[in-house]
């Protein structure tokens, strides 16, 4: 399954990318499930992010590895791929795109995932969509120039 959520911010794209990091990452997590950051290396290829997700009666570990970082004249993107995922996922690939739009930036969360069973793909979609829509005001708060 593929999910995309786009957010426009009033900040030049290279400056927006410079604000991506541990602090922004912590702000982007929605209230449920509660997330505890165990490790955040950064956004360079080979860097890892380790999370503990608390699903009330069960805690799950999520480990992603940064597999790509590409910078062009008009776009910067990095990719995280799930190496250890919560019980409901078989695969996860998230491309974080920052695209130049004049003096603004278009942020595109471009996610490809697969559930453990096909039905989960469709059940997870609205949940994931809401979780990534949650990011829009956070991106704007952190990145807008004003």
Question: Which residue ranges make up each domain of the chain?
Answer: 2-143
pLDDT confidence tier of residue 144, bands split at 50, 70 and 90: confident
Number of other CB atoms surrounding residue 9 within 10 Å: 23
Residue showing tokens 């990452």: 25
In the chain, the DSSP E strands lie at: 2-9, 35-40, 48-54, 59-71, 75-84, 89-101, 104-115
For 103-125, write each residue's pLDDT tens digit: 999 999 999 999 999 999 999 99
Q: Give the architecture (CATH level 2) of 2-143.
A: 2-Layer Sandwich (3.30)
Q: So what's the pLDDT on residue 146?
A: 44
């Amino acid at each position: 399954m593929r999910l995309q959520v786009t957010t426009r911010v009033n900040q030049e794209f290279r400056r927006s990318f410079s604000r991506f990091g541990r602090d922004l990452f912590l702000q982007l997590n929605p209230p449920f499930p509660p997330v505890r950051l165990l490790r955040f290396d950064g956004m360079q290829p080979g860097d890892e992010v380790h999370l503990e997700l608390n699903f009330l009666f069960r805690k799950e570990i999520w480990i992603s590895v940064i597999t790509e970082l590409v910078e062009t004249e008009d776009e910067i993107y990095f990719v995280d791929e799930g190496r250890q995922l919560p019980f409901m996922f078989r695969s996860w690939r998230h491309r974080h795109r920052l695209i130049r739009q004049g003096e603004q930036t278009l942020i595109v969360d471009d996610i490809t995932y697969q559930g453990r069973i096909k039905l989960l793909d469709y059940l997870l979609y609205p949940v994931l969509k809401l979780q990534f829509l949650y990011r829009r005001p956070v991106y704007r708060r952190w990145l807008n120039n004003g």
